[in-house]
Structure formats: structure tokens, C-alpha cells
Structure 1
Amino acid sequence: MQSYPPIFASFHQTLSQLLKLPYGDKSEDLASIIVLRVEHFLLNNAHQHFPTWSEQDIYLITYGDSIIDGEKKPLNTLNSFLKKQLKQLISTVHILPYFPFSSDDGFSVIDYLQVNPALGRWKDISAIAKDYRVMTDLVINHVSRESLWFADFVSGTQPGRDYFIEQTPETDLTMVTRPRNSPLLIPTQTRRGTRHVWATFSEDQIDLNFRNPDVLIKIVDVVLFYLAQGTSVIRLDAIAFLWKELNTTCVHLPETHTIVKLMRVIIEKVRPGALLLTETNVPDKENFSYFSHGNEAHMVYQFALPPLILHALNRGTEKHLAHWARALPEYPKGCTVLNFTASHDGIGLRPLEGLVPDNEVSELVDSMHRFGGFVSVRTLEDQSEKPYEINIALFDAMKGTRRGEDHWQAQRFLCSQIIMLGMKGIPAMYIHSLLATPNDLSGVESSGRTRSINRRRWDLKDLMTELNNPVSTQSMIFKTLKEIIEIRRKESCFHPDNPQAIIDIAPGIFAFSRTEPKTGKHLIAIHNLTHTHMKHCLKKYRNWFELLGKKPFVSDHLKPYEALWLIPPPKSYTPQSD
């Protein structure tokens, strides 16, 4: 057995132990290969140590070309917009897949190691990384059928010939969990004849075969390359589907969890403080399983939050949102959640399973249809269909309630964002929420994809016209959200690790506390989920200081969709009356 200096000996041992489950007697050799990769990385890249999270962490989710400016490269335009409009209000930029791609707005990667030339170059990514943490998607489950790896498969040459999963059409795959209605096996003409390859998401997105250890090493190389380019958060896209095993659901398998653990060990070795985020849009128990015992993902998405907030505001009730939030588990040390209300994808409905009655989900879906949205479905094992995802711009999802449209859209939308910004975890804002972008129906028409409704590409001049117009909706929402974010970043109670407790005040009010354990300092976050005035319900909080209004709270009621962040008054404060 090869001997290693102490700095790598225990690392090699950890790797080989992890690799035994998926790769058996190949684990020692694989561990040695990875150690050499890591040693080379540390010798050729400057040491970086990223700070742990704090109340100042705000993530921004955006495509590289969500804002365009004529002939300028979009990544350069994005960087300029961040510096001029957001400055230090955000800590991390999640730039959605910025690689050459063939479909799915970037999630069908042709080449992991190149920046899409239509967006810019690696130097543009590095430039953004000088001022912000950069989150990069590792589209780990599949590649584009236009990739060189798949070209190798078609021609029967190495290395890609054995990078993909082949099955015969007669194979029983009825147990496999499906996120799409497209065929699971795609017939492909190769030099060896017609082969049927596994494609979980679409005929253009061909799943990689991680049973082949060469695929694992290739992906490790990709991770190290991203870290070398300035990435400090790796997002594992569609990770739940990684490992395939016949006669199973092929989702959340032990080998998949093991590979996530492996990625964490490698990342922590080469970039202390860098983070691993898993993308698993599934019910909570399955989602939180990617924390394991604090040795797997550093973060998971809080996938139940977007549909629960939308349901609460659409129905005017805190019941299911509060019940869910009250039952949230304690996260392992060194782990937290990424809170969000919208993203490039739609609002997933699977996390509502077991939380919200089916009839109320159906009513929510009907409302979204009335507000201009779309709903995709998934096929169950019995071949029945069930709503899977709502596709709509969040701002337009707030046009009204289940009773129809009303004039409270802006207030209702801001309430949704304030809830998200206050809850335990790290908040992530989608750029089209920050900008109150409405439904992009022309984008749906031109692309033929319903998800395009929430993926508008703003022309910078048009956007700035809106943002510089003090009476425009975009200007009002953008300005208000920036002010709220600035307040949040200065409040230590909002540290991601600080406890949260649900408070019962009255029907239609969602409230919780955030407490700083070391000092005992606490904050009460209160949100009116209805279009009615809530009177005489907050007497106990009179004369507390209200952070969002920057003044003492001298009332005892809540306006429609009003949100408050209350802290006890300083001892020197003299109580006031109405």
C-alpha cells in the first residue's frame, strides 16, 4: 500500500472507507487517485479559507443573462449591475449553469469546463468571485447528448463509451421514481447498433453511469476545476437520482448519499469553508436526509417553504405553514437550510404531500391558472397523474387569493419575502422576485416551455427605466426589498444558526421568534396573511421597537399583509401611547 504524509494519510483512509460501498475492492485505488488530484490542487492553487455563514448572508439566484445590454457580455453586465445596484447587500451569487448547453436553459451541459461564450469567459466568473461568493451548478446526474462524452458512446470509443447506462426495452423499470413524463429509455443509433440509454429528465439529458469509477474521477476533476476558478458553493443538481439499481426507486439510494459525503470531504480538504448544497425537490424527510449526521450536505433547500407560503397567502391561513414550521427538526451542527420563495424552476408541489389536503392543493392550482400560470404533472406508479410544479412568476402568483384578484398584490408579495427573510436559515432571492418581474408569456410562446414564464431576460435599458421611475412597481418593490435586506443584515438574531419558535397569536397571523442564545436577545416576526385589519391582537408588543418601520410600535393591530420585526424596547425607552 502506498504511504502518505500525515496530512494525506487520514484523508486517504476516509476516502477509501467511503468508496467501499459503491466501488468495493476498487476503493483503495480510487482513493489514491483522488488524493493525487487533491495534492496537485493544493500545490497549484492559492490557499483560501471562506468564513462560515452569518446574518449578513443573502444569496441571489440568477441566470448569467437575466440582464442583457446590447453587445456586452452578459456576465460583465451582471457584475456591473451587482456593483451599482446591490453593492454589499448580497453575499453570494448563484449563477445558474453558465456552460455551453443544448436544452433546459443550461441544465443539459455540453462541456463542464467551458463558459458559454455567449455569456463570457472564466475571467468574468473570477471577477464576480472577487466581490461575492459564487455558487456553481454541478449538473452531476446527466450531460447533453451533444457532449463529447456521448459522441464517444455513439462511436464506441473511449473514454465516453462506458459513461452511460444501457438497458433493454424489456427491462422492468416500473419502480423507478419519475420527475417527468418523457420515456426513461431513449433509443440511440450507435456504431454497435441501436442502444437504449437511461434519461431521467429528457431525451437530450443522458444520465451518467456512476458505477463506472472513471465517471466519478471525471466529476471530481470538474469539482476541483470549479473551485480553482473561484467557486465557493457547489450545488449538486438533481443529485437524488444519481445511482441506479434495478428493482428499486433509483432515488436517494445509499450509494448516492455516499458520493455526496465524498464530495464534502474533498471540498473541505481543498477549500475550507466552501459549501455543498443538494437540490432534492422532495418531501421534508427525504430532503433532510442529505444532512445525514452533519457529514453530507452543508445546506439543503427548504423546498416546502415556497408552496407553503404561497398557500398561506392564497388562503389567508397560517395553519399548515405554522404546523410545518413548528415540526422542523434541529439541523446538525455545521448544517443549515437555504430558504427561498422562487427560483428558475417552478414552485414544487411534492413537498406539500402530507402537509396540505389534496383539495386545498387543487384550489391553489386553480388560482395559479387564473393568475396566468401553468402546472406540470408527474405520473405515479399506478399511471395516474398528479400536479408536480406550478410555473408562474411569484409576483403574479400574488395577484389575489382563492377568491380572485384584488388590489393587495404588492403588499402580499412583500409579506411573502419578509417571511422568508426572517426564518431560520440563509435566505436566497431569485432575481425576478427582487425585480417583481411579471409573467413572461412571450417567453413561453417563443420557447415552448412553461418554465420560461419565470425566466425573463431584462434589457438593461428597459430595466433601468423601470427602476428609475419612482412610481413603477419594479422600482417600489426593488427599493423596499433592498431596505429590508439592509435591516436584516444588521440584526444578529437572524444568524442562520439561531433558534426559531412558532408563536400563536390569532388565526390568519403567522409569527415566530428568533433568539440569540449567548445574549438572550430575541426578535418577534409577525405577519398578517389576510386582507383584513387584525385589531387588538398585539397589545403585549406595544412600545416594542419595530425594525422595519424604524420606530416604536405604538399600535395594537395589523394592517392587511403587514409584517413586523419587533424587539423589546431598550430599558431607557419611555413608553408612548396612540
Structure 2
Amino acid sequence: MSSGPSSDLAPDLAPGMRERISNRFQQHFPVLHQDLHHLYANRFADEHAFALWLMDLLSITGSSIAQRPASLLELDQQRSEDTQWFTKENMLGYCCYVDRFAGDLKGVQQRIPHLQELGVTYLHLLPFLKARAGENDGGFAVADFDAIEPPLGTMQDLEQTCDALRQAGISLCSDFILNHVADDHPWAVAAKNGDARYRDYFYHYPNRNKPDAFEKNLGQVFPQVAPGNFSYVSDMQAWVWTTFYPYQWDLNYRNPAVFADMAAALLRLANRGVEAFRLDSTAFLWKRTGTKCMNQPEAHQILQALRSLVDIAAPGVLLKAEAIVETAELPAYLGSNNEAQATRECHLAYHSSLMAASWVALAEQDTSLIRHVVAATPAVPAQSSWLTYVRCHDDIGWNVLRPEASLEAEDVQQRLARVSRFYSGDNSYNSSNSYARGQSFQASDANAVHGTVGMASALAGFSSAQSIEEKYLARQRLVLLYGLSFCFGGMPLIYMGDELAQANDETYQHIAAQAADSRWLHRPVWDENLYQQRHDSLSHTGAVFNAICHMLQIRKQLPQLAAATPRQLLTQASPAVLAFMRGSLEQPLLYLANFSENNVSIDINTLLTGYDIPAQAWVNQLDRFDTGATVTLTAYAQLWLTPKNHSGVNA
């Protein structure tokens, strides 16, 4: 294989396009071959058999390129020439369920003006592919990668929605559930019916010997409603690996056919117009006895191989890793700049530790934990970016913070459990009343560190606020967390309803298919009444909406906030304050945030000790007011400061 297969993957295209694709193939095939050979060569009788399988995979890739619409081929070329397009300061994501946001895919097209008003450039629609009949984990149990859930529309509707969004400057992101399929997916049905080929698409065991050996080291995702990681399937007369719910069967990526079929499904969706994929549950892709079966080296090689295929066939497409893991494990999902062997993995990865730590800082009115997280966050590899967020469709998992929490004297279990109880609104474990109105998630043990569910507004105090002052503080908290996500470095993401301070949705408790999953508390239906109030500055919805839009408008004018610009954590006296610097010493931006309800004064010259920044006066870009060397942060306030002698704002 040293000479490699032919790089002419799509001979029917125009010569210029064929040359571009050939160049991409020559650049990315060596890495693709290396990863796939390491993963799968030992599954074949000899090197020749492996080479034939690889040629089949490349044939599928070539067919995908040949069938790719001309508009998407042109988009591929544009983004190949501007590989940092998704890391710029104007990038903004928005996340929602199709039905909760707009009814169906056609309805999403009608919501484009709202997305444009916010400045959204990236729309993540949560699972919309055909899901399992009955319970389906909110669509994350996929029954068909080539069909849309019927109430949401058709594949033609998807293509039209992608096109309409693209014309508005918005890339559509689809969930692509890599780890598992539904138990009524054709592969699972064939396995139940005795098809040996498809049985090998899944992990299945005739007795509990191997499952019990694995369970000794495995965690549990849903310990209350779906305990354990294996489910007995009578049709198979076997125990099937089901990390999540019993109806979600983990795919066996030791089987090269699984990789090939999943890669082909992804490329077909890319040809429909999907420009980004949230790769669900990436940490779980490879199983190994004696480990947690998370973050295994082979899981990264699977992602790297997918990245190489996408770089060849559809380089206009982004891959986003959904890996809710400890901070130290996160950077690997973006690849590395290692001089000996640089790797390219996903373009984006959720910074879940930053999100969870920001809520801890609010609860404790102390930024020690978030400062540990920031300090542990390395610069990202070239052509990649963090995805920063405040809330999402899932629960807040506090356990990702255990390594950082262990750096301090307090018992980690007690500390994180106290935070969890704070956000469930349980006042019995706090010295002061909790303003939060969330709920605990998926644990029956009173001493466990429960996950937390709830809309951002409810967790920030809107639902409990009675007085004008309490509502003002709730707004300050919510806007503070979004300000951090806008300034930290990455692509920020707004979760549907947060821009309107939308409340929890308690109605899920009366819906049979949702009642057992409290995450539906923060999956409300779009509130048209709140939307109509978004410009009413006297309403709390209007105040939040205007504050978020204002920050986003300022952000677009600050090149220091592009994802690739450096970040320096700054040391200051008050534990309530988070301070860091973005940009260069010649053109810095200081981010200062007070996570407490008390006023805090900061001497900027002291803050910048050791940095050669001679500015005597600063401009707060959020209100364009000048300030001297000493500033006061009121309750939950934030400042975006640039030196007065050069404001740092683009003309």
C-alpha cells in the first residue's frame, strides 16, 4: 500500500474539481490508512484482504463525492481555503429541538429571522432522524439514518431547510449518534432474526461472565431508570451491551463493517446539506476489559479516521465531539499539535468542565474551581475550537469537576453534592437560601452527586424571584454566564429559550413518554408570548434579550475574542472574581467578572503585574465608558476592558 490507491475518486467531475479532490486525497489518505490499518488490519486474513476492504470504503467515498451537489462542492472549496472560518469572533451557535422550536423542519425556516436577529451562524437541531417507536431518549435512539422522524418532515424538507439556512449564512448541525442504534434499527432487527453478519455489529454475550467482568469498572449513565450496562435480549438469547437505555444497542467498532456503514451514513447526510455533525457519546466508542471503556485510544483513532474521510469528501463539514469528560481528557478530542505526530480529530468539542464550573462559581460565590479549570485548559490545536455553553438539552454533570475539586482541601464529594443540592433548590444544605429551582437527575442515593436539570433562568433565580431586586440579580447571573461563554474563546452556543429567560416546563410530568426523564424540565416549547416581549426593556425577557444581543454585537467587533487568540488567566485578590486576558500585549482585552452578590474593587495595575501594558485608562466595551486603574464590580457584573489608547474595536 505504499503507493496507495488511485486518488481519482470522482472521475466524472470537471478536471479542476478532480484535481482539488486529488490533492485532498494525497494530503489526508496517509493518516486515514494509518488509523484504519491500526484499527482493523488484524480483523482480516491478510494485508490483501484489508486492502480490498479499504478500496471498498474509498469507492463509497468516491460515490459520495460524485453525488455531492455543486453548491456544496463550492462550499468545500471556500472552506478549504479559509480553514479558520468557524473560529472567528462572529460565530454563534443556537441549539433546539425541531418540534419544540418550530413544530417541524418547515417551521424552522420560518424562525430564520429570529436566528438572524441574534446573529446565529450555526444551528444545532437536536435529533430529527427517524427514531425508535415508543420511548427513544428524545430521539437519540435512531432507527434509520436515511429518514426523518415523520412528524418533523421529509428528507426533501431537510434539504430545503439546509439550503434556506445556508442562504442566511447559517450552517445546520445534526446529531449523529455514533455509539448506538435503536433496537428497531434494521441492523438490530437482523441481529434478532439470527443474521450472523449483523450480530457482529453489536456486543452480545451468552451469559453474564464477560458483562460482569466489564461492570467492575464501568460507570452508570442512568442508574435510577436504566441501571447497568447490559440488557438481556430474549430474541438473541444473549446479553447485549446497552450503555444508555436497554433499547439503545452499542455498536461494535471492532467490526470494520460498522465503521464503513456509519461513515457512509454520515456522508449521505452531508450531501443532503448538513454542514456539521454533533458526534454523540464519542468517549464510549471502544470497549476494553479492566477500564471504564471511555476515552480509549481507539476511540480517538475512529474519530481521526472520520475526520480524514470528511477532509477528503466534504471539507466544508464540521465534526463536533460530545465528550462529557474530565478537563484533562477533553483536548484529545480536538487532536494535538504534537511536533512528533500532530493529529486532527474533531473541529469542535464541548467545554463541559467550564460550563459546570461556572455554575459552581455562582453557587459558592467563589471562582476557585473555575480558575482551576481555566488553568487546566490548553491552547487548542490549529483549525479547532471549543464550544462554550451555559445550558444544553442534557443535565449538568458535576462529576467532571472531580480532578479540579480535589486540588483544594474540602472533601470533593461533599462539595459537589452541596452544589447539586443548591441547584435543586434544597435549602437544608446551604447556609443561605438557594435561589435556584432545578431538580436532581437520575440518582436515588441521598449522598450521591446528582446531576442537575433545569432551564438557565430557573437555575439563575428567575423562578424564585419575588422582588424587583431579586429579579435583577437573577438577570445579572444569567447574563454573566453568557458573557463568560462569549469571551472565553471558542464558539458560544445559546440554548433555545435562554435568550428570552424562558422558565422550566413542568408539563413533562403528565406525559407518559417523558415522565421518567426529568431532563424534559428544560426542554420547553417555544414561548411566543415571551418572544413578542423581547424588545420590551421594561420586561425581564426584554432586558435579558437586549443584554445578550448587545454583548453579541460588541463581540463581533473584538478580534481578541476570536477562538484562536491567546488567553491568560490573571491572579487577583478577591476569590469572587474571575479575570483573564485575551489577545496580545499590544491589543489586549481584559475580562473581569464578579460571581458574588457583593461589590468588589480591583486595581488593574496590580492585576497586570508582570505584563508590559502601560495603559493608564481603560474602556469598558459593554457601555463604552472610560475607567481608571481602579474599577468596582457590582453584584454579578462583568467588564470587557480594552486600553483607551486603542479601543480594540474594529472600525
Same fold flag (TM > 0.5): yes
Does 1:565 pair with 2:640?
Answer: yes
Task: Report the residue type matching 1:478 in the other structure.
Answer: F
* Residues 137/19 of structure 1: CA separation in 2 closer, same or farther (3 Å cut): same
Give 2:142's aligned residue: 109
Contact 2:61 2:264 in 1 (8 A): no
Partner SS state of residue 277, structure 1: strand
Give 2:264's aligned residue: 221
Following superposition of structure 1 onto structure 2, how do residues 481-500 of structure 1 map, counting pairs within 5 Å? 481-500=548-567
Q: Distance in 2 between matches of 1:321 and 1:572?
A: 28
Following superposition of structure 1 onto structure 2, how do residues 169-208 of structure 1 map, counting pairs within 5 Å? 169-171=208-210, 172-173=213-214, 174-181=216-223, 182-190=227-235, 194-208=237-251
Following superposition of structure 1 onto structure 2, how do residues 502-517 of structure 1 map, counting pairs within 5 Å? 502-507=569-574, 508-516=576-584
Give 2:18's aligned residue: none
Task: Report the residue type matching 2:414 in the other structure.
Answer: N
Does 1:390 pair with 2:452?
Answer: yes
TM normalised by structure 2 equals 0.80
Give 2:306's aligned residue: 263
Give 2:286's aligned residue: 243
Contact 1:198 1:206 in 2 (8 A): yes
Q: Choose from 418, 423, 432 the match for 1:363.
A: 418
- Kindly provide the CA deviation profile for residues 311-332 of structure 1, in whole angstroms up to 9, marking residues without a partner as x: 1111111222123212322222
Percent pairwise identity:
22
- Kindly provide the CA deviation profile for residues 484-537 of structure 1, in whole angstroms up to 9, marking residues without a partner as x: 1111112111010001112233311111111147xx311111111111122464
Give 1:22's aligned residue: 39
Give 2:295's aligned residue: 252
Task: Report the residue type matching 1:104 in the other structure.
Answer: D
Q: Choose from 62, 65, 76 the match for 1:42.
A: 65
Q: Distance in 2 between matches of 1:32 and 1:282?
A: 35
Partner SS state of residue 501, structure 1: strand
Q: Choose from 4, 7, 19 the match for 2:6.
A: 4
- Kindly provide the CA deviation profile for residues 354-391 of structure 1, in whole angstroms up to 9, marking residues without a partner as x: 22233321221121121332223579xxx997425211
Contact 2:398 2:420 in 1 (8 A): no
Following superposition of structure 1 onto structure 2, how do residues 61-210 of structure 1 map, counting pairs within 5 Å? 61-68=95-102, 73-84=103-114, 86-87=116-117, 89-102=119-132, 103-120=136-153, 121-126=157-162, 127-131=164-168, 132-157=170-195, 160-167=198-205, 168-171=207-210, 172-173=213-214, 174-181=216-223, 182-190=227-235, 194-210=237-253
Q: Distance in 1 between matches of 2:509 and 2:645?
A: 53
Q: Distance in 2 between matches of 1:502 and 1:282?
A: 22
Contact 1:186 1:199 in 2 (8 A): yes
Contact 2:203 2:251 in 1 (8 A): yes
Contact 1:378 1:385 in 2 (8 A): no
* Residues 89/19 of structure 1: CA separation in 2 closer, same or farther (3 Å cut): same
Q: Distance in 2 between matches of 1:469 and 1:146?
A: 48
Q: Distance in 1 between matches of 2:403 and 2:364?
A: 18
Give 1:33's aligned residue: 56
Q: Which runs of 5+ in 1 are unaligned?
A: 574-578
Partner SS state of residue 94, structure 1: strand
Does 1:427 pair with 2:492?
Answer: yes
Does 1:467 pair with 2:539?
Answer: no
Give 1:576's aligned residue: none
Q: CA deviation at 1:129?
A: 3.6
Deviates more, 1:125-134 or 1:194-203: 125-134
Q: Distance in 2 between matches of 1:560 and 1:527?
A: 9
Partner SS state of residue 67, structure 1: helix
Give 2:12's aligned residue: none
* Residues 442/466 of structure 1: CA separation in 2 closer, same or farther (3 Å cut): farther
Partner SS state of residue 281, structure 1: coil
Q: CA deviation at 1:124?
A: 4.0
Give 2:609's aligned residue: none
Contact 2:131 2:140 in 1 (8 A): yes
Partner SS state of residue 570, structure 1: coil
Q: Distance in 2 between matches of 1:196 and 1:133?
A: 41
Q: Distance in 2 between matches of 1:107 and 1:360?
A: 32
Deviates more, 1:83-92 or 1:230-239: 83-92
Partner SS state of residue 42, structure 1: helix
- Kindly provide the CA deviation profile for residues 248-280 of structure 1, in whole angstroms up to 9, marking residues without a partner as x: 322222221111010010111122243221111
Q: Distance in 1 between matches of 2:354 and 2:29?
A: 39
Contact 2:417 2:450 in 1 (8 A): no
Contact 2:487 2:561 in 1 (8 A): yes
* Residues 543/444 of structure 1: CA separation in 2 closer, same or farther (3 Å cut): farther
TM normalised by structure 1 equals 0.90
Q: Distance in 2 between matches of 1:109 and 1:572?
A: 50
- Kindly provide the CA deviation profile for residues 215-235 of structure 1, in whole angstroms up to 9, marking residues without a partner as x: 111101111012111222222
Partner SS state of residue 580, structure 2: strand
Q: CA deviation at 1:34?
A: 1.9
Q: Choose from 388, 394, 398 the match for 1:349.
A: 398
Contact 2:188 2:198 in 1 (8 A): yes
Q: Distance in 2 between matches of 1:64 and 1:218?
A: 26
Q: CA deviation at 1:393?
A: 1.3
* Residues 3/414 of structure 1: CA separation in 2 closer, same or farther (3 Å cut): closer
Contact 2:437 2:461 in 1 (8 A): no
* Residues 424/13 of structure 1: CA separation in 2 closer, same or farther (3 Å cut): closer
* Residues 502/163 of structure 1: CA separation in 2 closer, same or farther (3 Å cut): same
Judging by fraction of residues, say which structure has more helix: 2
Q: Distance in 1 between matches of 2:293 and 2:182?
A: 21
Q: Distance in 2 between matches of 1:200 and 1:572?
A: 51
Does 1:552 pair with 2:619?
Answer: no
* Poorly superposed stretches of 4+, deviation over 6 Å: 539-542
Task: Report the residue type matching 2:501 in the other structure.
Answer: A
- Kindly provide the CA deviation profile for residues 319-346 of structure 1, in whole angstroms up to 9, marking residues without a partner as x: 2212321232222222221111111101
Q: Distance in 1 between matches of 2:140 and 2:320?
A: 16
Give 1:283's aligned residue: 326
* Residues 56/536 of structure 1: CA separation in 2 closer, same or farther (3 Å cut): closer
Task: Report the residue type matching 2:625 in the other structure.
Answer: K
* Residues 469/444 of structure 1: CA separation in 2 closer, same or farther (3 Å cut): farther
Q: Distance in 2 between matches of 1:401 and 1:118?
A: 32
Q: Choose from 365, 384, 401 the match for 1:335.
A: 384
Q: CA deviation at 1:247?
A: 3.6
Q: Distance in 2 between matches of 1:231 and 1:216?
A: 20
Q: CA deviation at 1:451?
A: 0.5
Q: Distance in 2 between matches of 1:271 and 1:24?
A: 26
Q: Distance in 1 between matches of 2:26 and 2:380?
A: 30
Q: Distance in 2 between matches of 1:317 and 1:17?
A: 47
- Kindly provide the CA deviation profile for residues 135-174 of structure 1, in whole angstroms up to 9, marking residues without a partner as x: 1111011111122221111112476343221012232222
Q: CA deviation at 1:302?
A: 0.7
* Residues 109/504 of structure 1: CA separation in 2 closer, same or farther (3 Å cut): same
Q: CA deviation at 1:470?
A: 4.2
